[in-house]
Chain A
Amino acid sequence: MPLLIILLPVILIALWAVSEYNFFVSSKARIKAAVQEIGNQLKRQVELIPNLEASAKGFLKHEKDIFKQLTDARRAVASAVDSGDLQKMSEAGAKVAAVLPALKIAVEDNPEIKGSEVVTKLMDELRDTSDKVMYARRLVIDLTADYNVKLVSFPSSILANMFGFTEQEGLITPQKGEHLEVRDSDMKSPRVKLD
């Protein structure tokens, strides 16, 4: 009986340590996989855009700017994918997302192409592909946050120190810079002109 009283806490602590250890290693593996998923989605984007360009060409021949934007975005993504640098890849992905608003304006200006199925399809696919990249990034952010919270919170922090787990960077975002500052122009309420 006394042996059991001594052994039981030891067994419980050991079980806890194993599960915490496994959390750290599996999280690390998942973060790595999630980062690869971003690359995967961007590759899909590179293959998708030329197809979309080809199918929408006839309808958008007057919209040279949009075409140029789309081509530029595709090139940027392609070169970023080749370089294998995640940071560059996701910056290039943002360019694809920027085509969509421009395309919307063009469609509004040209009622004759508004109803065309090809253009609707193009817009749907563009939104979808940029969503996919965005959500792939979301997974990296969430997984890294879970991991890093566990790393510093007690009592899992003891175990993390013992086994030398270090903070995961996840997506690198500068901690200083324009995107964190609010300028005067941002404070004004947006004005929408309808005429």
Chain B
Amino acid sequence: MNNIYEAQASNRLKSVIIIIGFMLFVGVAVYILMQALGIYFGYQPGGLGGVGIAFIISGLMSFGSYYYSDKIVLGISGARLADRKRDFIFYTVTENLSIASGLPKPKLYIIDDTAPNAFATGRDPDHAVVCVTTGLLQKLTRTELEGVIAHELTHIRNYDIRLMSVVAVLVGTVALLADWFLRMSFWGRRSKDDRGSSQAQAVIIALGLIFAILSPIIGTLIQLAISRRREFGADIGAVSITRQPDGLIKALQKIAHDREPLEAANKATAHLYIVNPFKAEGPERSRRNPINTFSNLFNTHPPVEDRIKELQKMA
């Protein structure tokens, strides 16, 4: 037994710890890569410097996808606007849960696809979009749909899309620096002006190489860990709105056991959905298997069984 407030507090704490760890990691990686790059450049660039340039490039690449996230994703997924008469349950359920959570009602869209799934996007609650598939509306009862929509509204309320965009920018910055360093050590030439401290330089270059190779992977792994934490957070938040863990549990089971692939999803949008649309995690896949525990590190979502277990503690 675990009440909502305890679950919320513990999840928030874990989330903060991961994010602080992520910040430290980004700081150390950027520092070492810059030191190592400095040896090739022969000086430490002042002012904006390499980090600034990498940050701006990475930021520009992610900014568009963040600022126009609602429009881009909807364009890719081919969704249509929901209407109160035609999609009565979807429309009213979202309306009601928006009342309960004190959020403005998001824009509602429907993807014509029989695989049940749902996602939320948009840069802030005023530009939020909740999108579901026709399969979800057909296969879930009203109570189950409330669980799913409440999960999506919690993502919106917690600014998860904004957080994940910031994280993506930082991972991108580290990856760019690492890439530059690798190219420099391939094509570049060490500056010859101070040969005195060549031993220290060798250590920094060795460290730089290690970081250049490992940090993009480590960054991505932490990014995925944050994403999984936010999914747990959204599940708990959903229960705090509906107070009916059973609704979300049954909905997750139905979505996970459905074997149909979601045609509208692709690798770029997969992380948005309430359950990973690629169904890598079938019900027959056991958690005990060490290979699965390892492969879970590369998933944007925690395994559905784990999410259900957490929810059952609150039921």
Residues of A within 8 A of B (CB): 30, 34, 37, 41, 124, 127-128, 131-132, 135-136, 138-139, 142-143
Assembled-state Cα–Cα distance A77/B102 (Å): 24
Assembled-state Cα–Cα distance A130/B7 (Å): 29
Residues A124 and B99 in contact, CB atoms below 8 Å apart: no
Please tell me the number of chain B residues within 8 Å of chain A, measured between CB atoms.
14
Residues A143 and B102 in contact, CB atoms below 8 Å apart: yes
Residues B142 and A41 in contact, CB atoms below 8 Å apart: no
Residues B142 and A139 in contact, CB atoms below 8 Å apart: no
- Separation in Å of the A86 CB from the closest CB of chain B? 16
* B293 on the A face (CB < 8 A): no
Residues A131 and B89 in contact, CB atoms below 8 Å apart: no
Query: Which residues of B lie under 8 Å from residue A127 when comparing CB positions?
Result: 142
Contact with A along B55-96 (1 / 0, CB 8 A): 000000000000000000000000000000000110010011
Knowing A124-B88, A124-B89, A127-B142, say if A132 contacts B102 (CB, 8 Å): no
Of B89, B97, B142, B240, the residue contacting A135 (CB under 8 A) is B97
- Separation in Å of the A151 CB from the closest CB of chain B? 16
* B201 on the A face (CB < 8 A): no
Query: Which residues of B lie under 8 Å from residue A143 when comparing CB positions?
Result: 102
Assembled-state Cα–Cα distance A128/B92 (Å): 7
* B101 on the A face (CB < 8 A): yes
* B20 on the A face (CB < 8 A): no
Contact with A along B104-145 (1 / 0, CB 8 A): 000000000000000000000000000000000000001000
Query: Which residues of A lie under 8 Å from residue B101 when comparing CB positions?
Result: 139
- Separation in Å of the A81 CB from the closest CB of chain B? 18
A-B CB contact pairs (8 Å), 6 listed: A37-B99, A128-B92, A128-B96, A135-B97, A142-B100, A142-B240
**Interface contacts beyond A138-B243, A142-B240: sample of 15 additional A-B pairs, CB < 8 Å, sorted by A:** A30-B102, A37-B99, A124-B88, A124-B89, A127-B142, A132-B99, A135-B96, A135-B99, A136-B99, A138-B100, A139-B99, A139-B100, A139-B101, A139-B102, A142-B100
